[in-house]
Structure 1
């Protein structure tokens, strides 16, 4: 399939990594669909935006159904929407646990489930889920955040087995700290601690991320599924 005929859905793309990836793939000629809880000012003839809260099942179903109706369905899904929180475990409110798991894990699951139904009919698909380097590093204060992302990794591996016969691959990327709004909730000394634990001791760049997403979605990567790549080395 020519990439110019493919439709990429990127969740949580109003700003940060999602916004960058949206503009990146529009420049490459893809049809890009984005969704967030508020309007986006991204304007392009090949771009469509939907209002959607990823943790609300009815909104996810409606969004994916509308993409099918107007774009012919989702070919590539990038589950970028997510939240972070820094709390010592004994000081973590239950609402924080619920919110992070519903946004990070449930949101990724709902979109993966609904989009994969369309991909099965096409007998082709790529799903990329976002994890974090906080998973393997077992960082203090990031128990809930890392746990929600660890659940995404396990989901990706099992779904990759369940969907492999339909030429659908599911892989995971685990970024290091990148200069986005998400990192603003993490104290500067904590960010420096994370970077010093990496093999390559620097912030990740947006280009580092698109390098991996390109690798995962390419036709040449049809034999790569159920894998995870952590940026920066651990």
Structure 2
């Protein structure tokens, strides 16, 4: 008689809104145990969902989160590093405080979560880590120097951690969404977004399902030989 496998445990950062909120509900609907975190409380109430309010750049708070995961579940199967911020200004108009905030959230926090996640994943010799980049990297978009630079760092981090974590049975990959109509781009002029869409092979806005499709691919057991990859949506 075959044993029924326990549901996978997924940790999603930036889970209170936008793509993170969508992914949280999506994986709950698929039967996963989901742990979310963000600065704000979550609107989701579900018996298989636990939410932590924290700053993803706060090392002490992040370590405490992983300690709670270890005590409650004794394992972690998937980390989705979704939390991120953007600032779209000419370099001459960008204060250093903005640069520090973007790198702290997009790069330092991604590293921190990857580092703590692999400590749990290595015990079972299995894990999937998915980071977020952006099409602003290959397109080298004007006005997004700092945002794109931070995501370039995430890509390099992804590729190197893929090598460092391979012996632990943990894959590390990334995806780069095209513009999706979320709060992240609500202040971007429509004209600029249209120009970006014209540069894509498939000239439309991305959809939430496009994102979850790639994450599903990275997560599936058959993708154990896929690591260190960055997949851009829309044909960047």
- TM-score, scaled relative to structure 1: 0.98
- 1:189-216 deviations in Å (ceiling 9; x for gaps): 1111111110000000000000000000
Could you tell me which runs of 5 or more consecutive residues in structure 2 were left unpaired when the two chains were aligned.
none
1:184 aligns with 186
- 1:115-163 deviations in Å (ceiling 9; x for gaps): 1111111110000000000000000000000000000000000000001
Q: Residues 3 and 38 from structure 1, CA distance in 2 versus in 1: closer, same or farther, beyond 3 angstroms?
A: farther
Instruction: Give, in whole Å, the separation in 2 of the partners of 1:41 and 1:163.
Output: 34
Q: Post-superposition, which runs of at least 4 consecutive aligned residues in structure 1 deviate over 4 A? A: 1-4
Structure 2 residue aligned with 1:70, among 69, 72, 75? 72
Instruction: Give, in whole Å, the separation in 2 of the partners of 1:15 and 1:32.
Output: 15
Is residue 2:195 matched to residue 1:193?
Answer: yes
Residues 6 and 75 in structure 1, CA contact (< 8 A), matched pair in contact too: yes
CA-based RMSD of the aligned residues comes to 1.2
Q: Residues 126 and 80 from structure 1, CA distance in 2 versus in 1: closer, same or farther, beyond 3 angstroms?
A: same
- TM-score, scaled relative to structure 2: 0.97
Q: Secondary structure at the match of 1:185?
A: coil
Structure 1 residue aligned with 2:81, among 75, 79, 82? 79
Residues 3 and 30 in structure 1, CA contact (< 8 A), matched pair in contact too: no
Query: Aligned residues, how many?
Result: 234
Query: 1:71 deviation in Å?
Result: 2.0
Instruction: Give, in whole Å, the separation in 2 of the partners of 1:168 and 1:206.
Output: 25
Could you tell me which runs of 5 or more consecutive residues in structure 1 were left unpaired when the two chains were aligned.
none
Instruction: Give, in whole Å, the separation in 1 of the partners of 2:110 and 2:222.
Output: 25
Q: Secondary structure at the match of 1:61?
A: helix
